[in-house]
Structure 1
Amino acid sequence: MTPDQRLLLVHAHPDDESINNGATMAKYVAEGRGVTLVTCTGGEMGEILVPELEHLEPHELAEHRRGELAAAMKALGVTDHRYLGGFGTFHDSGMQWHEQGHAVIGDEVGEQAFWNADLAEAATHLVEVIREVRPQVLVTYDQFGGYGHPDHIQAHRVAMYAAQLAAVPSYRRDLGEAWDIAKIYWTAMSESRMREGLRRLREAGDTVSYEGMDPDGPLPYFVVADEDLTAAIDAQEHVEAKMDAMRAHATQITTEGPFFALSNNVGSAAWGIEHYRIAKGTPGPAGPDGLETDLFAGL
C-alpha cells in the first residue's frame, strides 16, 4: 500500500543523506510515511578514510560505497533508495577547496561527471521518479549546495528543474501523469545551534573538531541564520539510527571525527534535530519557536 504522505530526498553522494537528514528519514519511516532517496552519483571521488581500502580505484570505491549506502538505509529503515538514472549513470565530479573556504570544481573533470550532465536529461530521470512516487514534499540542497560542492549544486538544479517539469501535463506523457510537489525544502544547519555546539565542544576541551571555527566568529557557508529557517524536525529518539547510518559510511566518516564529537559533547539535540528552509509552498502551523515541526504541516 502507498503511504498517504510521501517524502522524496535528492542527494549528491552516498553519506550526504545520513548527515543531513538521517534522523528525519528514520522518524518518518517509523511513523509509516513514505521515504524515497535518490542519490545522484556513486561517490567515486570521495576521500577514503580507511587505510586498507585506499587502493580502491574510483569505480571500485563507487561499488563499495553502494554497499555502505545500503547498510545506512537499513539502519534508517528506508527501503526505497535509488541512483539517478540507475547506478553508474552519473559519476562523482570531485572538488577542490577555494581560498575563501568553500568547494569548487576541480581542474580535471571526467566526461561522465555529474557536473557535466545535461540538465534536461538528468532532470527527466528524476521526473520519472517523481511521477511514480508522487511525493508531497521534496528535500534537497540550496543553490550553493551547502558549501559549494559542484555535485551538490547540480543536485539542487536537477531537483528544482525536475519538480517543475514533473508538474507539466504535456511534458513526457510517457513518464506518467503530471505531479506537482506541494512543498520543497532545502537542508540547513541552524546558526544558533552550531554556535552552541562549538561553544560546548571548546568548553569540554575539544580544540580539534571543527578546527579553526570560533563559536563567536564566522561560520561555514552551510550554516543558515535562524531567521531564514522554516522547520525543525525533532527526531532525537532516532538519533542512534542516524549515528548507525553514518557509521555505515565508513570510508567517508570516522567515529573519531567532528560529527561524533559534536554528538558526544552536545547530546542527541546536535544531530537529532534537523533544520530546513522552505523553497516552495506555504509553511504550515508552527511550534512554540515559530518553526514547523513537520515537513508535511498544512497539507
Structure 2
Amino acid sequence: MSERPRLLLVHAHPDDETITTGGTIAVHVAAGAEVTVLTCTLGEEGEVIGSRWAGLVAGAGNSLGGYRISELATALAHLGVTGGPRFLGGAGRWRDSGMAGTPAALHPRSFVQARDDAVEQAMVSVLRELRPHVVVAYDPAGSYGHPDHVRVHRVTTAAVARAGDPAAFPGTGEPWSVAKVYWTVVERTALVEGLAALGELPPGWRLPADGELPSEPDERVDAVVDVRPVLAAKLAALAAHATQVTVAPGGHAFALSNDVAQPVLAEEHYVLAHGRAGELGPDGREHDLFAGVDL
C-alpha cells in the first residue's frame, strides 16, 4: 500500500506561506497529502498597514508577533491545513531579523544571530519527525534578499543533507532522506503578463518598477502547480494577513505596506533543487511536486 504523500513547506515569517505557496498548499491538502507549514519567526518586524493595527508595534510592548500567530492560524485554516501554526523550535524561539542593516538584525534572539548548530538541529528534528517526501523552501537569494529568507535556504539545505546521516544530531529521531527539494520562485513571463493584465489599481497603489519584484527566467522553472481551482482559498488566506497584506477588490492583485501591486497568479512556480524530476508535461515541466517519488 502506498504511503500518504507528505509535503513540508519552510517559511520565514507569517504571510510568506500564502503569498508564494498558498495555492500549492491548498491544492495538495485537497488532494489528500499531509501538508505541514513550518514558520521560523513570528514576523515581529513586519510593517503594519494603516492605523487600525498600529498599536501592535507601539513602544516597548510590541505585540505584533503574537497577533500574527492568529493571522497565520486563520490563513492556514482557509488553505485547509489542520492543527494550527507550527514554528521552528517553538513559537518565539527565534525573532524576525528585519531587513539587512536594521537594529533588529542585532537582536540576540534574531534568526540571523542564531547558532548554525542550534537551528540545524531544530530543523533536522522536524524532518525526522514528519518524514516529508518533498520539501519547499527559498532559493539562495531568499526570493527578494531578506536575511531571514536567505537563512531559511541555508538551514533547510544543510538540514536536508544531515537528516539522513545517522551520526548527525543523535537523539533527534530516526534518519530520514528527503526525496525532493524545491525552491519557490515566480516565473518572469507569468509576472510580466500578470502585471500587464491588472488594469485599474486601488487609489495609492502603483505598478512595480522594472525588476522591482523578483522573478526567475522561464527556462529555470522546473515545476508548475495550477492553483486556479483554489484561488478563492488563497485570496481568503491573503486577506487573513491583514496587518501585512491588502487584497484588491475583485481579487486580481494584492499589495504589501509599500502599496506596490502584485498580481495574484493562476500558477505557482518552482525550481527543483534536490532529487530527480518525475513525469514532465508537454511544456517540459513537472506538474506534480510528488512526480517520481516512490511512495
Q: 1:212 to 1:134 in 2, by over 3 A?
A: closer
Aligned to 1:36: 36
Per-residue Cα deviation, 1:115-139 (whole angstroms, up to 9, x for no partner): 1111111111111110011001000
Aligned to 2:259: none
> Aligned equivalents of 1:273 and 1:107: distance in 2?
37
User: Which of 89, 94, 98 lines up with 2:98 in the alignment?
Assistant: 94
Aligned to 1:211: 207
User: Which of 261, 270, 275 lines up with 2:269 in the alignment?
Assistant: 275
Aligned to 1:73: 76
> Aligned equivalents of 1:224 and 1:90: distance in 2?
29
Aligned to 1:243: 235
Aligned to 1:98: none
SS in 2 for 1:24: helix
TM-score normalised according to structure 2 size: 0.88
Aligned to 1:99: none
**Are 1:113 and 2:117 matched, yes or no?**
no
C-alpha displacement at 1:258, in angstroms? Answer: 12
Aligned to 2:195: 198
Q: How does 1:45-60 map to 2 (within 5 A)?
A: 45-57=45-57, 59-60=62-63
Letter in 2 for 1:42: L
Letter in 2 for 1:290: G
The answer to whether the 8 Å contact 1:50/1:250 transfers is no
TM-score normalised according to structure 1 size: 0.87
Q: 1:282 to 1:270 in 2, by over 3 A?
A: same
SS in 1 for 2:96: coil
Letter in 1 for 2:237: A
> Aligned equivalents of 1:44 and 1:20: distance in 2?
20
Q: 1:143 to 1:176 in 2, by over 3 A?
A: same
Q: Give the unaligned 5+ runs of structure 2.
A: 256-262
The answer to whether the 8 Å contact 2:235/2:251 transfers is no
SS in 2 for 1:173: coil
Aligned to 2:11: 11
SS in 2 for 1:42: coil
Q: 1:247 to 1:238 in 2, by over 3 A?
A: same
Aligned to 1:159: 156
C-alpha displacement at 1:68, in angstroms? Answer: 0.3
> Aligned equivalents of 1:76 and 1:82: distance in 2?
15
The range that moved more, 77-86 or 185-194, is 77-86
Q: 1:68 to 1:148 in 2, by over 3 A?
A: same
SS in 2 for 1:75: helix
User: Which of 283, 292, 295 lines up with 1:298 in the alignment?
Assistant: 292
Per-residue Cα deviation, 1:137-171 (whole angstroms, up to 9, x for no partner): 00001111111101111111111111111111121
Count of residues in Structure 1 that have an aligned counterpart in Structure 2: 279
User: Which of 59, 62, 66 lines up with 2:65 in the alignment?
Assistant: 62
Q: 1:59 to 1:169 in 2, by over 3 A?
A: farther
> Aligned equivalents of 1:212 and 1:226: distance in 2?
19
Aligned to 2:221: 229
Superposed CA RMSD: 2.2
Q: Give the unaligned 5+ runs of structure 1.
A: 96-103, 264-268
Per-residue Cα deviation, 1:153-195 (whole angstroms, up to 9, x for no partner): 1111111111111111121231111001110000010101111
Letter in 2 for 1:211: L
Letter in 2 for 1:273: E
Q: Percent identity between the aligned chains? A: 41
